[in-house]
Amino acid sequence: MNINLTSDPNIGIFAWQFQGLLNYWVVVFLMMIGFYIVIARGNLIKTILGLNIFQTSVFLLYITMGKINGGTAPIIPPHLVASHGNAAGHGDVTTHGDAAIHGEGVSHGNSAIDEHTELATEAATMIYSNPLPSVLMLTAIVVGIATTATALALIVRIREDYGTIEEDEILQIDQAGTDGNP
């Protein structure tokens, strides 16, 4: 039986919704892989690897939530900034002091106000993505790298003391060492 996605509207909607949620499916997949590695493996290096995969899935989750379709970085475009400078009377326009010295009247026409209103409206109608999740995740990445480096240094020290990095063997060595002592 051949299924045509365009002929069956229910399957087309499902495919469209799945595609829209693809990032979340990837996050759940990575999270479960990382969680499984942490639980199922007795090797300390593999446990750290599983924690890093789990952490990466959390990064993707927060970054995905911060992205808005059609959104841009929250930076005012240069053409709005350039026209704002001229509209505000800060460009090549006579200042109040110069106009008063030359005996000219200073006019505050509505054209500058109208231009400010148009610029503000254009800037307000733009769609911006939220930068906070990305900033927080950059901080989390730095903390994650530092934590991973510390964990790897501890694993090197454990390897020097116990001669292994397998949790079961380390526990056996610890139990054998404490069973003989009162």
**Residue 70: band (very low, low, confident or very high) from pLDDT cuts 50, 70, 90:** confident
pLDDT of residue 57: 95
pLDDT of residue 87: 46
Q: Residue 113 burial by CB count (10 A; 0-12/13-18/19+): exposed, middle or buried? A: exposed
Residue 28, pLDDT > 80, answer: yes
Average pLDDT, the chain: 78
| Structure tokens belonging to residue 7 | 């002929």
**Residue 1: band (very low, low, confident or very high) from pLDDT cuts 50, 70, 90:** very low
- Report the pLDDT averaged over residues 124-137: 81
Kindly list the domain boundaries of the chain, sorted by start residue.
Answer: 1-74+130-182, 75-127
Tell which wins on pLDDT, 3 or 81.
Answer: 81
Give 1-74+130-182's CATH code, choosing from 1.10.287.3510, 1.10.10.60, 1.20.1290.10, 3.30.70.360: 1.10.287.3510
pLDDT of residue 13: 67
| CA dist 166 → 38, 45, 50, 135 (Å) | 13, 9, 15, 37
Coil, strand or helix at 26:
helix
| Structure tokens belonging to residue 68 | 């808005």
